[in-house]
Amino acid sequence: MPLKRNKLLASTIVRLRNQYLKQRGPDLKPRLWSNTTETEQSIIITMVLPTRGCSWALSESGGCSVCGYVNDSSRDRPIPSEQILEQINYFLNRVVPTKPIELKLFNSGSFFDENDVPRTLRLQILDLVKKTPEVILLSVESRPEYLLNQQKIIDETNRLLKPIKLEIGIGLESSNSAILKDCWNKGFSIEDYRKSVKMAHSQDIRIKTYILIKPPFLTEAEAIYDSIMTTFEAVKIGTNVVSFNPCNIQNGTLVHELTKKDRYQPPWLWSILSIVQSIRNQFPDLEIICEPTAAGKRRGTHNCGKCDHKVLDLIDRVIINEKIPDDLSTICSCFSKWKVLVETPIEVFRSRNLSKLRLLNPLNE
Ligand code: SF4
Ligand SMILES: [Zn+2]
């Protein structure tokens, strides 16, 4: 899989990341993070494993322009596998299994990347999961290259897990190859995603597709359009679930730097609502997830501060197919401000004094 990289973007990301990690110092102690929620049908346990870190982020590509997960990974001081297993065991045993369990094990990288999750650790984790009879679904995450190049690892995982269903989350973010390369620095194309989904489905593996809302260098309106188009493409390719993730500002990332210079702002909650509404209207049965990190805060998707909770609630209602008011301007006066923003011709925004990086906007003619 040849790398699709924008050298200026990648070198800027590497520089910012290294600067941040250096200043942060060596005393970080990554720990397993866990959260349990309940729905009518199941108990959902989410764990973030403190593994070495995403190889894409640790490579000379610097990783994705928005992602700061590597800040909390163990990197060159790996945590012994026994400690990670002990912690998974501890959190699994704390749950009273009154319902089937859906287990989400995320390592802030790729579960099938043996540099991040070595084979022995992966097999031991699978063994632990198998010993918990209530688990019906294991959800992990991976970049497409591991689905395409490490099929043996996927086969082995899927075979050992049976009858537990395997779900793989892929961070597609955008279906536009220019945006993937020049905004997100993902290093793969929509074709790689398409082949990965095909490969997973041939093994009866579910695919969850993450769509990141509002790439750097795009306007609010361009970002809305991109997310809608990306969802259409992902559904056409056959994703089972779509998870919308409004971009939030993480330390040491390119979007953090752009935000400091007032050249980036996370998406409005109105934008998220408008995307979710369009997609729900178009695909009434599609499984949609939207649980924005830092919603309502300056570093996450937000509105004026007064209506944020109301709009988050509207997003939840749209997802479950409930009716919401037709006239959204009655919810808050900031709706009209947002409307002006998204309806103003793009050229007005482009005429600002833009940084060199801003000129990388792939939609510039
Ligand atoms: S978004 Fe995923 S692939 Fe990109 S750097 Fe972060 S963990 Fe790695
Ligand atoms: Zn408001």
User: What pLDDT does 103 receive?
Assistant: 97
CA of 41 to the centre of ligand 1 (A): 31
CA of 150 to the centre of ligand 2 (A): 47
State CA 257 to chain mean position distance. 20
pLDDT tens per residue across all 365 residues of the chain = 656 788 999 999 999 999 998 888 665 677 788 899 999 999 999 999 999 999 999 999 999 999 999 988 888 888 889 999 999 999 999 988 899 999 999 998 999 999 999 999 999 999 999 999 999 999 999 999 999 999 999 999 999 999 999 999 999 999 999 999 999 999 999 999 999 999 999 999 999 999 999 999 998 999 999 999 999 999 999 999 999 999 999 999 999 999 998 889 999 999 999 999 999 999 999 999 999 999 999 999 999 999 999 999 999 999 999 999 999 999 999 999 999 889 876 655 544 443 444 445 554 43
What are φ and ψ of residue 134, in 5° steps? Answer: -75, -15
The owner of tokens 């006066």 is 333
User: What pLDDT does 28 receive?
Assistant: 62
Dist CA 280 CA 296 (whole Å): 23
- Please give the CATH superfamily to which domain 7-360 belongs: Aldolase class I (3.20.20.70)
User: What pLDDT does 319 receive?
Assistant: 97
Dist CA 254 CA 233 (whole Å): 27
User: What pLDDT does 357 receive?
Assistant: 46
Dist CA 91 CA 99 (whole Å): 16
Give kind and range of the element (H or E) at residue 343: helix 334-343
Cα distances from 269 to residues 45, 276, 291, in angstroms, run 27, 11, 12
Residue type, 80: P
Where exactly are the structural domains of the chain?
A: 7-360
CA of 109 to the centre of ligand 1 (A): 6
Q: Whose CA is nearest to atom 4 of ligand 1?
A: 64
CA of 249 to the centre of ligand 2 (A): 21
Per the CB < 8 A criterion, the answer to whether 122 and 157 are in contact is yes
pTM: 0.93
Per the CB < 8 A criterion, the answer to whether 42 and 99 are in contact is yes
Using the Cα atoms of residue 313, residue 314, residue 319 and residue 322 in order, give the sign of their dihedral. Answer: positive
User: What pLDDT does 336 receive?
Assistant: 92
User: What pLDDT does 67 receive?
Assistant: 96
Pocket of ligand 1 (CB under 6 A): 54, 56-57, 63-64, 67, 69, 108-109, 143, 171
Which of 143, 173, 184, 196 is the best mutation target for the ligand 1 pocket, counting ligand atoms within 8 Å of the beta carbon and taking the most?
143
Dist CA 162 CA 239 (whole Å): 21
Tokens standing for 36? 């349990």
Question: Which ligand 1 atom sits nearest the alpha carbon of residue 57?
Answer: 5
Residue 330 exposed, middle or buried by CB count within 10 Å (0-12, 13-18, 19+): exposed
Question: Which ligand 1 atom sits nearest the alpha carbon of residue 66?
Answer: 1
Residues 217-238: b if buried by 16+ CB within 10 A, e if exposed: bbbbbbbbbbbbebbebbbebe
User: 38-93, pLDDT tens digit by residue?
Assistant: 999 999 999 999 999 999 999 999 999 999 999 888 888 888 899 999 999 999 99
CA of 359 to the centre of ligand 2 (A): 31
Tokens standing for 22? 């250096």
Please give the torsion angle defined by the CA atoms of residues 210, 215, 220 and 223, in that order, rounded to the nearest 10 degrees. -50
Which of 16, 21, 54, 140 is the best mutation target for the ligand 1 pocket, counting ligand atoms within 8 Å of the beta carbon and taking the most?
54
In what side-by-side order are the strands of the sheet with 135-141?
33-38, 43-48, 101-106, 135-141, 165-171, 206-213, 241-246, 287-289
Which of 1, 66, 67 is the best mutation target for the ligand 1 pocket, counting ligand atoms within 8 Å of the beta carbon and taking the most?
67
List beta partners, residue 45. 36, 103
CA of 343 to the centre of ligand 1 (A): 32
User: What pLDDT does 31 receive?
Assistant: 79
User: What pLDDT does 353 receive?
Assistant: 41
Q: Whose CA is nearest to atom 6 of ligand 1?
A: 67
Tokens standing for 212? 């990141």
Work out whether strand 43-48 and strand 33-38 pair parallel, antiparallel, or are unpaired. antiparallel
Which of 21, 64, 140, 248 is the best mutation target for the ligand 1 pocket, counting ligand atoms within 8 Å of the beta carbon and taking the most?
64
Per the CB < 8 A criterion, the answer to whether 357 and 185 are in contact is no
pLDDT averaged over the chain? 91
Residue 45 neighbours by CB distance under 10 Å: 22
Helix (H/G/I), strand (E/B), else coil: 166:
strand
Give kind and range of the element (H or E) at residue 22: helix 7-24
CA of 269 to the centre of ligand 2 (A): 9
User: What pLDDT does 364 receive?
Assistant: 44
Q: Whose CA is nearest to atom 2 of ligand 1?
A: 109
